[in-house]
Structure 1
């Protein structure tokens, strides 16, 4: 579907066949990221890998991610961190009386795992300020930003307050990270290298060598089905055509913004039987996965701009999910029916459940938390 959103020509891709054309057949043509006020702010004007322009600098950053930061060795190194943080989560749930807000606990778990992996600690002094600033950025990104659709309008720019607020919140995030990096440099000078993610990056910088009875199958199937029904980024990260090309008989002009509607594709009855039903068994004894070869299921994208942190993210989800299901029986509040559970979503930097999930957790006898 071709749209003109204000001044911005936009193509929305909502079928697996068209997604394959964009992310495999014409992957190079659609490798760039678009530019907008929002993207330029949260992407640090293309300095981060997510929104970096396609070219040598992006290739260098991707190589660092794949070879140094997110390889199997690093994910294995973080295994003890994941286990420790999940253990703390289990103990806090077991100690709780009444219902627990599982949405908040899952969010805190994700924040702590990432902070420990990145910086070697939870950064307690900076964490609350960082999370607050991140939530503000996420809320602003989820809203309507007229300047993204009318970038040449001086009137829109003059009347808009969102840009100033977004720059302020994102600037706060950058200052916190800069403070952590400065502290880590001092630690390394005193105690030697540390091989968390930040330690790896600082080591590379110093080298100056850069050009620029739950079975594993059941847990995996549940995780796949959650990603199918609720992809982390329902429209994936947008791309932009670097040259004119033809998709399914239609000419796509150079500079067109491309959205792949992963949410619609993963619920399309042409590819999925009874697509609205939560049915993890559909992935058992199935060759379908999210590595970018099955275009009916691309929660992490595909091709050159596929998310490089798939293994890191799915490993954390898998160990948390397995432990939560193994150690506790979960019960909804009285009067609530699982078939009527509110599953609508809210969007921002990612997707989350709109209505927080409150459950009562009863430890199983075998769990050790009774």
Structure 2
């Protein structure tokens, strides 16, 4: 046994040395051939580059790097050069001045597996296919008229949540869980026509969103892709993709059967009905096949559930920690609600402080702190630096929202900063880009924000929300856990006391 082990080591060690020398040679070769005026870079390790420096909260780790090296930092993740952007000026250059060059997406294994080969809007590469599917989404699914047509769904599901809280009789509730159920139910009814409750479906959604935020080492060090197989990441991704596909196939068949029965009646259409109509009436060369429809629906779940529910949860967390802000918000909503049993969407437009509270929440707790990675399609000169084609780009929207050069008291929760301010989240103010900007900015902002506003308004209108007696509001744990979205690390447990009869 000892001799066998010794022979094995004597074979492995020289091989490892040869491989290391080869990689070092390639690295120095690539460095010498690289553009001369590159952005500043931190020191990196051989083979893995700066991977270890990402840590468990990459948005915070990358913020630390940019504090040391500047708003544009070039790091190396395995064999892939990655440009980290952490200032409004740099974000403007990427998302506006050179938007076309940076409009594509890198090919990432996990999203590619989950979205039928990146046939969705979020992860598909920039080009004619992306333009076609985005046009369908914007015109058919996310237009102002379409968003307004689902108002009754948002209001009904919000009131269901409010009623459930009312039945808690002052006991401790997991508000995050209730808000997550609200957003899931809204998306299910809008997209699929009905709710899909139960442990199995909720577990599938949790695993789906979790995997989208997982790091696949094979994307950055291809010859180590076996690590993803060994860890089970590859198998888990394929399993979720298969389970979601089976679920969506059932949804499509259900809708096709219903469509035959109602003989083309378009009353009460959900988004699957609309996509099936577009498929049938298609007059262009673009083929809207089943996989494209399923990928579009998966995008709605990825973008419309987790990001929306976490924003509401963070908002309530901050309101509990800041009683002054809570009272001011309740005063505004109470005056506008004026004793009505519930807040409706008609009331929201007048609630300027509510909107400021949500903006401040999105600034401090950006739902997608690093947005979705981009990739340069050609060489470009950026703020005086040479950026090669094929460079991945990470925009740290979370760090930009906390930039002390742009925001006074940048770490403090102060909604008043947005009163009498033209700064908005629609992609025109680059110091505040929680939903991205440019061509790849989120097309569903309007839908997500109205869910946030309606839920938050009704929660603080109907209830006083406090922590359990054994927890001091100052001690509320605000720790984060990072995947694709920025979650609270611990559940938000509260006691709700009715404010109105």
Contact 2:229–2:235 under 8 Å retained in 1: no
Supply the distance in 1 between the matched residues of 2:161 and 2:208 (Cα, whole angstroms).
Answer: 26
Aligned to 2:81: 9
Aligned to 2:176: 103
Q: Which moved more, 1:204-213 or 1:175-184?
A: 204-213
Match of 2:431 among 268, 291, 296: 296
Aligned to 2:315: none
- The answer as to 2:331 corresponding to 1:196 is no
Deviation readout 1:241-297 (Å, 9 max, x if unpaired): 010111111111111110100011101111111111111111111100011111010
- The answer as to 2:399 corresponding to 1:247 is no
Match of 2:206 among 135, 139, 144: 135
Deviation at 1:154, TM superposition (A): 5.8
Q: What's the TM-score once normalised by structure 2's chain length?
A: 0.70
Contact 1:60–1:210 under 8 Å retained in 2: no
Deviation readout 1:80-138 (Å, 9 max, x if unpaired): 000000110010001103111101001000100000110111034xx543321221233
Deviation at 1:49, TM superposition (A): 0.7
Deviation at 1:183, TM superposition (A): 0.4
Number of equivalent positions: 364
Aligned to 2:313: none
Supply the distance in 1 between the matched residues of 2:134 and 2:446 (Cα, whole angstroms).
Answer: 15
Which structure 2 residues correspond to residues 221-236 of structure 1 after superposition, within 5 A?
221-236=356-371
Supply the distance in 2 between the matched residues of 1:187 and 1:41 (Cα, whole angstroms).
Answer: 30
Deviation at 1:211, TM superposition (A): 3.3
Aligned to 1:118: 191
DSSP 3-state at the match of 2:83: strand
Aligned to 1:207: 281
Supply the distance in 2 between the matched residues of 1:330 and 1:108 (Cα, whole angstroms).
Answer: 19
- The answer as to 2:392 corresponding to 1:321 is no
DSSP 3-state at the match of 1:273: coil
Q: Which has the higher contact order (CA 8 A, sep 6+)?
A: 1
Deviation at 1:349, TM superposition (A): 3.7
Unaligned runs of 5+ in 1: none
Match of 2:132 among 60, 66, 69: 60
Contact 1:130–1:172 under 8 Å retained in 2: no
Supply the distance in 1 between the matched residues of 2:251 and 2:221 (Cα, whole angstroms).
Answer: 37
> Which one has a bigger Cα radius of gyration?
2
Supply the distance in 2 between the matched residues of 1:43 and 1:19 (Cα, whole angstroms).
Answer: 27
Unaligned runs of 5+ in 2: 1-72, 287-331, 334-349
Deviation at 1:139, TM superposition (A): 3.0
Supply the distance in 2 between the matched residues of 1:172 and 1:61 (Cα, whole angstroms).
Answer: 24
Supply the distance in 2 between the matched residues of 1:182 and 1:80 (Cα, whole angstroms).
Answer: 26
Q: Which moved more, 1:299-308 or 1:187-196?
A: 187-196
Match of 1:151 among 213, 219, 222: 222
Deviation readout 1:323-344 (Å, 9 max, x if unpaired): 0011111111114233332112
Which structure 2 residues correspond to residues 66-77 of structure 1 after superposition, within 5 A?
66-77=138-149
Aligned to 1:172: 243
Deviation readout 1:291-320 (Å, 9 max, x if unpaired): 111101000000000000000100111100
Deviation at 1:35, TM superposition (A): 0.5
Deviation at 1:156, TM superposition (A): 4.0
Supply the distance in 1 between the matched residues of 2:390 and 2:437 (Cα, whole angstroms).
Answer: 20
Deviation at 1:30, TM superposition (A): 0.2
Supply the distance in 2 between the matched residues of 1:209 and 1:297 (Cα, whole angstroms).
Answer: 39
Deviation readout 1:214-259 (Å, 9 max, x if unpaired): 2511111111111111111000011000101111111111111101
Deviation readout 1:190-214 (Å, 9 max, x if unpaired): 0133422111111100102243232
Q: What's the TM-score once normalised by structure 1's chain length?
A: 0.94
Shift of the 269–78 alpha-carbon distance from structure 1 to 2, 3 Å rule, reads same
